[in-house]
Amino acid sequence: MTDWTIWVEWVVKGFILCMILLTGFAYLTLYERRALARIQVRVGPNRAGPQGLLQPIADAVKLIFKEELTPGKVYKVVFLLAPVLTVVPSLVLAAVIPLGDKFMLFGREITLYVADLNVGVLYLMSIASIAVYGIVLAGWSSNNKYAMLGGIRSSAQMISYELSLGLCFVIAIILGNSMNLNEIVDAQRDMWFAVIQPAGALVFMVVTLAEVNRAPFDMPEAEQELTAGYHAEYSGMKFALFFMAEYQKMIVICMIAATLFFGGYREFWFLKDTFFSVDSVWTIGSWQFKAWFLGPIYMLLKVIVLLFFMIWIRATWPRIRYDRLMAFGWKVLLPLCLVLAFITAVGILLFDLLGNPMLIWGVPVLSMLCILVVVAFIYRDLRRKSHGRV
């Protein structure tokens, strides 16, 4: 394979991945609106096209032709660049996520990922941590106190919850014994990490809600206090870019969660070595081919379910007060993640030393006990506050 063909393959796969995320962003808005309507006993969008399927296109046309206003006192260069700096990391993050197994096409092997890095987890952590710069710069460049407060809140929130997110990545690294995402997915062939460490998977999903500023952690754009927060001065397509970045990060975060804890593109572990396995060979007449196409289907189903978890949380939980949000990150999630990482490491070490398979099941039991203890302490604290004793 010559160098130019490798570059062509990278460009084509990168373009296809961007199109997948852009299409996913458009129809995630419809999915969220219809799901919220179901939960809240409403109808939801159903006018533009059959069952509202053309609603995302109608929204896109509206935003494209909407007038863009730029206040006179903004720092114009940074003001224009901030939405772009917010969107790009949400696209670049997905480059190392494997969407399926490799297959042969015209005599050459095609992999369903853009890049295969030995330190893929480290890449995810580094890119995810710079995504906040666009939001902070948007708030600062707007020359607006409300927008500036939203940007400051976003940076403080990112710092608070980034540590817990990193420890959740550490849990997946310990279980998979690798920082390569393909190897982590292969390590879940026999059992998902969410089964071995359910508390870690649950905390990961909670922390990622704070990372993407989703309710109930949407303090940087709290309209009751900040009149839309960091994007208060944005309109038209510049606002649409912030909107796009948030929803694309939702999709990418769910892809990362599926990869680290829910088997990635692989089938359910109890379907291993069956007709529905990604590794199975299907025979149709005289044709035999590997069922690699099941991988993207499994990944899509897992992402849809995890996205519904995010939407469900938004529909049911009120926004957390800012001081409690920070306290929850530093005083609850960070110590909990440290304990979960310690339990996982000790469980894997004992399993490797003694070789007893029953030892590994002590990890989920102890982890869920930790979650119950944390919930009990939070409940006791809330009851004391409600009775005026604190």
pLDDT digits (tens, 9 = 90+) for 331-358: 889 999 999 999 999 888 888 787 777 7
Query: What's residue 390's pLDDT?
Result: 47
pLDDT at 189 > cutoff 80:
yes
pLDDT digits (tens, 9 = 90+) for 61-88: 888 888 777 888 888 888 888 888 888 8
Tell me the two tokens of residue 331. 């005083």
Quote the pTM value.
Answer: 0.91
Query: What's residue 278's pLDDT?
Result: 81
- Residue 55 to residue 48: CA distance in whole angstroms: 5
What is the torsion angle, in degrees rounded to the nearest 10, for the CA atoms of residue 320, residue 323, residue 328 and residue 332? -150
- Residue 82 to residue 140: CA distance in whole angstroms: 10
Query: What's residue 288's pLDDT?
Result: 66
- DSSP of 47-66: SSSGGGTTHHHHHHHHHHHS
pLDDT at 303 > cutoff 90:
yes
Q: What value does the mean pLDDT of the chain take?
A: 85
Query: What's residue 154's pLDDT?
Result: 83
Domains of the chain: which residue ranges?
A: 3-386
Query: What's residue 286's pLDDT?
Result: 65
Query: What's residue 389's pLDDT?
Result: 52
